[in-house]
Structure 1
């Protein structure tokens, strides 16, 4: 919200010497986020005057149109003679009043005006546009043509209010009332301890039966609708300069008188309004939910298909506007400045439920000044005053007549009250404010306060954010000054160090980083369409998600059940920016609902929840295991003078899983698998043994080509995801450092021929069990298939390393251990020693 200081002074008698910086400091101390103070006209110096164009001579022979003008500036030039000026603009004519910068003036950007010869003539000044004076967007981008009533020679700097200070305030969602000059003035008055001239305190006629007919079919979505009618508007009336300038300073573009007045009142009182051309309305105005498939062309020219949750304004022809968001083109007010404007208008001033307005604005990607205010909460009691203010301005500025009819459809409602202990703010802040201070501060906010030790606080209608005692305590604390709170350090309990789960998390991260992976932190949200891209079956458990009531983005309304979509997005983004050799990892929570969780109860905020309430809340949460995942693409080993590089393969993804399992102290079992989104022939199931049972903990491998194409990933992308919580259950707890023996190693190689259906993991497990305690490590270094082995047979070659911790092994001992390992593999897998 941009608040001009000159406008603010209309409602609060700020000290004469108070600058925008001073007001900024006061408002920041009161809890508002004043991002900056813009100094308008700081670089502008005169003379800058009103002139009247006397003659225009078109100069020929130049590449662009050039006009030689004489302009009457009265005595502002010291001579009274017409001022000769060269100008290229063409949106003014003889007799028009314009703004003239005389020699010696300095315009924004240190543009100095001086007499100079150009295009063969002397130019003694400049006829100015709004852009050249730093006035902002006036919609015309041409020379400023002033209304004819302004006297020649008048100081244009004062007329156009070019020198001012504008406070740029970032209004937080809980302070929607500050999206108005009324709200900001209230905060300024409180900060300075001065009275407020409330612009909403107007005499408003009582509702009667002769107003424009209105029918509200959805009182929950619209609890108040005020309609007023103004007739006899002058179709040639234009917005006065002061109104246009206030709109421009507030960041809005002047359009036409009727529209400018509604925008002005919205900025002044915070109540969005809409003006309808009465001649284009067909029957009564209505408020209802849209019917699925209904269409509406909004004021921006877009044709929109409406949703059943959209709240719409209607007449007998159907929808004529998105309630609280944007009006429709069919009832648009015509341009008064063009002399063909509407002469009869109906003013809408309504109060809508914030939730449907916010959802409609997000659904149609149509964030407007009106929707920003409604979704933060608008004062319902200001609707009638805003309508009256609009009527008064139209009567004053356009010569209209206010009809006697006043329509007001309102749903009865009692004021909101909050019970609060008088010392509650003291206990929240740790400061002894006392009852008198608490009552005084709440009254400054606009509350009515009754009671002694137990206060009954009636909340003002413009503060929908005040719902609990803690909200009231916050108001007291901020007005008393956050800077006055004592700085005390909390007393933490004696530390117990990291939990085993936290240690595992850190070990896994260090291990993957040490293996060359880069950590990528992603949001835990996803869109359910990604499951189709991954190729998941319809009954896949990963499709069951927790949906958020108020997601950050409509495209990602669910919590993730797998880490892979976020990593795939990071991989795709980096690959698109030229980084093709990638190895990324992430550790984080996934959310796995069963669908049987009970509904969560709302916890109290005025006391500590009971153990039963906390247990009920925990029972409503889905399972949230911690996973680790990696994705790889491009080269795993770079090519160079040292030799050829190597692309990342499914084996690298499996090795990443082994790295994670080693960090957890768990023995990983790898078997062939088929599971989306992996390639059916290059997918490994990852298992561990828990309580004597093999338990599935994840997958690793190369992605299916269809998934790669659907997700827009590089070819042969590989991935791995594993459940860290189950690894922790299968692990040894504390990972012991390996024992280093000073005695030499004995290496024995074996090649075993097995049936093609036998998993290498089964052969490896048999070799380990048979080799006994002397086996230090075992590595598969070759897989061979060929005609000499027979159809459906394969050869697996292993390197076995034997070592004792207390002696040098003899050849007989190493050979015996090797033979025992082979015997176990023969017995359990049907292996045949190759070459035997």
Structure 2
């Protein structure tokens, strides 16, 4: 919410010496988060003046563009008194209009220096400015056309445009809808400095009568209050007064026309959204009802929208003419021919407004306020204020008769102990102080002994329980007055087993040189295509998100690899020579039991309803994924470097399993996105744990990674379930090690894992370790064969092994390999 300081001062008697920075600090202390302090003219230096367009000659160009060669009267501002020749590409002005001219020597926002220069065959001595060029908005399409009475040619444009104004921008929390108005901000400023507040909503309005415009509400829960007034004889060509246009612009909106600008101005002033209808286009009475399924409406943004039975709509005899509280319809909008204006100011159910906006992906200034909750006492006041401004500046007459249908909801009463704010905050707050501060924020307080009965202000629908009142008292006293007292540590049971195991995993991987990342868990079909997954791959069966962040990635992921691969590519693209990234996170596999039911939020679901909700929750195991790409060891004077590869990936999983005390079996596999023949499958007691290996070249290309990059993905939940809490340390023996090497010839299709398992089984308990140290293929062993050389290490804990013992263990190992794998010793 952008709030010009001069507008705040109009409603609050602030001390003259209070600076904008001091005011912003005090309001921030009250809970209005400061976003920025803007001084629009600070980035503009040099001559910025008002000019009157004298001539305007369109000149078509070869590139298809038409420019205007203009002469502009800037009086003596240019030092000569002669008209200024300026080339302008905009077309929304005409001779006789007052415009804003920046002369040579000036500097605009963005360090844009203005000078006389030849362009399109003319010397353009300056520029006719748009709002965007002056930093006043984002409208590049047209230049600023000032009201006819705004100033005279040659006058300084800083004051005319409000560039000397100071504007405070606040980020308004959803529960403080009242602060989306100057009325609300000014009330907070009055509270901050304990000075008088002049409420712009304090005005006498006529009593409703039968002569008002007919309005019928079919859904009073969705629209408790509807006010309407009529203005006839309105001049649609009347200009918006300069002061009003400047305030609207400083508040972050764009002036459009007097009819629209007045409704926007009153919305900014009071916080009550208002809509104006062309009365001559309305067909009879206005009705407020829920839409019928499939009913359609073209809104002011030109979109044709299919409505839901949950949408509140405003209709006349022709059908829907507005999406209630969010956006009006195109058929009855105010235009340059409107002379009969019907003013609508209504109070809408906030939940309905929120759901309608989300359903139609439609955001508007009106919807932003209505979905947060507006003061239900404002509709009649706001409608009367709009009627006053329309007739004051656009002529016409306010027709007799005022419509006010419905009754404003009554705020709830809240019972509270007078000492509750003191007990909760730890501050010494007296009961009288509590009462005074609650009354200061608009509450009505009745005291009965030590109990207070509090009725919140109508503009505070967020205040609903005693602790909301505590917050109100605390923010007025000052959050900075809350004492800093460290809480005593409560007795606990420490970390859970899962937390301890996850930390062990993280420490191990960090110690191995890996860096943890967190990526978005969303995927689309293009991601699966890039991974090379076949059309029937189970990973493509995903949980689709109802309201995805991106339509290109509408599903919750079934694999962590896409996010990791993108992160690795991004880091390598920004100069990293190598990356080793890991991520732990949940993936989701559909439960395939139908969509979760949607219940209301005004009651707790029953046990049966909760059971149906839980049935629809997908299976969400915790996975671990790693990506290794680029350099693993750098080259230098010490020797050549090394790229990360499949062996590093498999080695990390082996280390992880050893850290958790899990016996891991490694088998060869063929699984996308890994390279066939360079992919390993991990198993624990015959159950698949995950895969690791070298990524397929097409996957590396799709994600922009070096060839031979490697990746891992395992089910961490399953691994942790099999983990032991305390891994026993190795048994150390003081007796010497016995070394035996064997070379076995096996079929080329035999796996190292199978041969190693056979040797380990045959060697028995004396075997301390086994390691493959050579693989040979060639003429010496024949076609279709390979030679695997293993180093076997034997040791006993209680004696020195004899040669006969080690030989027997070696021979038993070879025999087992021969029986299981058909191995022949070389």
- What is the TM-score when the length of structure 1 is the normalising length? 0.78
* Residue of 734, 742, 746 corresponding to 1:749: 742
Verify the 8 A CA contact 2:524 2:552 in the aligned structure 1: yes
| C-alpha separation in 2, matches of 1:397 and 1:428 | 53
The verdict on how the C-alpha distance between 1:69 and 1:433 changes in structure 2, with shifts beyond 3 A counting, is: closer
**1:104-150 per-position Cα deviation (integer Å, ceiling 9, x unaligned):** 999989999999xxxxxx99999987678766568775465442486
**1:5-47 per-position Cα deviation (integer Å, ceiling 9, x unaligned):** 1111121111122221221121122121123322344688999
Verify the 8 A CA contact 1:563 1:586 in the aligned structure 2: yes
Verify the 8 A CA contact 2:777 2:785 in the aligned structure 1: yes
Unaligned segments of structure 2, at least 5 residues: 117-122, 605-612
Equivalent position of 2:261 in the other structure: 260
Verify the 8 A CA contact 1:85 1:125 in the aligned structure 2: no
The verdict on how the C-alpha distance between 1:554 and 1:196 changes in structure 2, with shifts beyond 3 A counting, is: farther
* Residue of 546, 564, 570 corresponding to 2:567: 570
Pair 1:177 & 2:178 matched: yes
| C-alpha separation in 1, matches of 2:803 and 2:11 | 101
Pair 1:86 & 2:87 matched: no
Pair 1:199 & 2:200 matched: yes
| C-alpha separation in 1, matches of 2:536 and 2:314 | 41
Verify the 8 A CA contact 2:51 2:72 in the aligned structure 1: no
Verify the 8 A CA contact 2:377 2:408 in the aligned structure 1: no
| C-alpha separation in 1, matches of 2:456 and 2:670 | 62
| C-alpha separation in 2, matches of 1:599 and 1:136 | 41
* Residue of 797, 802, 810 corresponding to 1:818: 810
Deviation at 1:244, TM superposition (A): 0.6
Equivalent position of 1:431 in the other structure: 427
Deviation at 1:494, TM superposition (A): 7.3
The verdict on how the C-alpha distance between 1:143 and 1:666 changes in structure 2, with shifts beyond 3 A counting, is: closer
| C-alpha separation in 2, matches of 1:493 and 1:633 | 45
**1:140-187 per-position Cα deviation (integer Å, ceiling 9, x unaligned):** 754654424867898866555442221111112222221110110111
Verify the 8 A CA contact 1:504 1:663 in the aligned structure 2: no
- Secondary structure of the equivalent of 2:190? helix
**1:570-619 per-position Cα deviation (integer Å, ceiling 9, x unaligned):** 346557768796542112455789779999999999xxxxxxxxxxx999
The verdict on how the C-alpha distance between 1:280 and 1:796 changes in structure 2, with shifts beyond 3 A counting, is: farther
| C-alpha separation in 2, matches of 1:196 and 1:289 | 40
Alignment of 1:631-780 (within 5 A): 631-632=627-628, 648-649=645-646, 652-671=648-667, 684-689=680-685, 695-700=687-692, 719-738=711-730, 743-744=736-737, 746-751=739-744, 753=746, 761-780=753-772
Verify the 8 A CA contact 1:542 1:562 in the aligned structure 2: no
Equivalent position of 2:822 in the other structure: 832
Verify the 8 A CA contact 2:743 2:787 in the aligned structure 1: no
Deviation at 1:393, TM superposition (A): 1.0
The verdict on how the C-alpha distance between 1:111 and 1:655 changes in structure 2, with shifts beyond 3 A counting, is: closer
| C-alpha separation in 2, matches of 1:761 and 1:546 | 40
Deviation at 1:246, TM superposition (A): 0.4
* Residue of 495, 504, 519 corresponding to 1:522: 519
Deviation at 1:206, TM superposition (A): 3.7
| C-alpha separation in 2, matches of 1:125 and 1:186 | 44
* Residue of 439, 442, 458 corresponding to 1:443: 439
Verify the 8 A CA contact 1:528 1:558 in the aligned structure 2: no
Verify the 8 A CA contact 2:208 2:403 in the aligned structure 1: yes
Q: Which moved more, 1:420-429 or 1:780-789?
A: 780-789
Q: Which moved more, 1:216-225 or 1:782-791?
A: 782-791
* Residue of 790, 793, 816 corresponding to 1:801: 793
Verify the 8 A CA contact 2:645 2:710 in the aligned structure 1: yes
Deviation at 1:414, TM superposition (A): 3.6
Verify the 8 A CA contact 1:68 1:84 in the aligned structure 2: no
* Residue of 310, 329, 337 corresponding to 1:341: 337
Equivalent position of 2:476 in the other structure: 479
Deviation at 1:526, TM superposition (A): 6.3
The verdict on how the C-alpha distance between 1:434 and 1:559 changes in structure 2, with shifts beyond 3 A counting, is: farther
| C-alpha separation in 2, matches of 1:539 and 1:113 | 62
Pair 1:386 & 2:382 matched: yes
| C-alpha separation in 2, matches of 1:263 and 1:487 | 45
Verify the 8 A CA contact 2:50 2:74 in the aligned structure 1: no
The verdict on how the C-alpha distance between 1:245 and 1:794 changes in structure 2, with shifts beyond 3 A counting, is: same
Equivalent position of 1:276 in the other structure: 277
The verdict on how the C-alpha distance between 1:510 and 1:130 changes in structure 2, with shifts beyond 3 A counting, is: closer
Equivalent position of 2:333 in the other structure: 332
Pair 1:403 & 2:431 matched: no
Deviation at 1:772, TM superposition (A): 2.7
Equivalent position of 1:467 in the other structure: 464
- Secondary structure of the equivalent of 1:509? helix
The verdict on how the C-alpha distance between 1:111 and 1:739 changes in structure 2, with shifts beyond 3 A counting, is: closer
| C-alpha separation in 1, matches of 2:282 and 2:252 | 31
The verdict on how the C-alpha distance between 1:746 and 1:173 changes in structure 2, with shifts beyond 3 A counting, is: same
Equivalent position of 1:119 in the other structure: none
The verdict on how the C-alpha distance between 1:448 and 1:785 changes in structure 2, with shifts beyond 3 A counting, is: farther
- Secondary structure of the equivalent of 1:16? coil
- What is the TM-score when the length of structure 2 is the normalising length? 0.79
The verdict on how the C-alpha distance between 1:298 and 1:126 changes in structure 2, with shifts beyond 3 A counting, is: closer
Q: How many residues align?
A: 801
**1:502-557 per-position Cα deviation (integer Å, ceiling 9, x unaligned):** 44323322332344433211245667997898869999699686979x88778878
| C-alpha separation in 2, matches of 1:295 and 1:93 | 39
| C-alpha separation in 2, matches of 1:774 and 1:315 | 93
Verify the 8 A CA contact 1:85 1:127 in the aligned structure 2: no
**1:414-466 per-position Cα deviation (integer Å, ceiling 9, x unaligned):** 42233333222222211231222222222222222234333332222322222
Verify the 8 A CA contact 2:290 2:310 in the aligned structure 1: yes
| C-alpha separation in 1, matches of 2:218 and 2:705 | 50
**1:466-488 per-position Cα deviation (integer Å, ceiling 9, x unaligned):** 23322221111111101111111
The verdict on how the C-alpha distance between 1:753 and 1:356 changes in structure 2, with shifts beyond 3 A counting, is: farther
Pair 1:13 & 2:13 matched: yes
Verify the 8 A CA contact 1:207 1:408 in the aligned structure 2: yes
Equivalent position of 2:453 in the other structure: 456
Deviation at 1:239, TM superposition (A): 0.2
Equivalent position of 2:609 in the other structure: none
Equivalent position of 1:422 in the other structure: 418
Equivalent position of 1:610 in the other structure: none
**1:249-273 per-position Cα deviation (integer Å, ceiling 9, x unaligned):** 1121111111111111111111222
| C-alpha separation in 2, matches of 1:134 and 1:214 | 43
Q: Which moved more, 1:624-633 or 1:495-504?
A: 495-504
| C-alpha separation in 2, matches of 1:686 and 1:819 | 29
Unaligned segments of structure 1, at least 5 residues: 116-121, 335-339, 606-616
Equivalent position of 1:230 in the other structure: 231
| C-alpha separation in 2, matches of 1:292 and 1:788 | 81
| C-alpha separation in 1, matches of 2:576 and 2:339 | 63
| C-alpha separation in 2, matches of 1:621 and 1:580 | 42
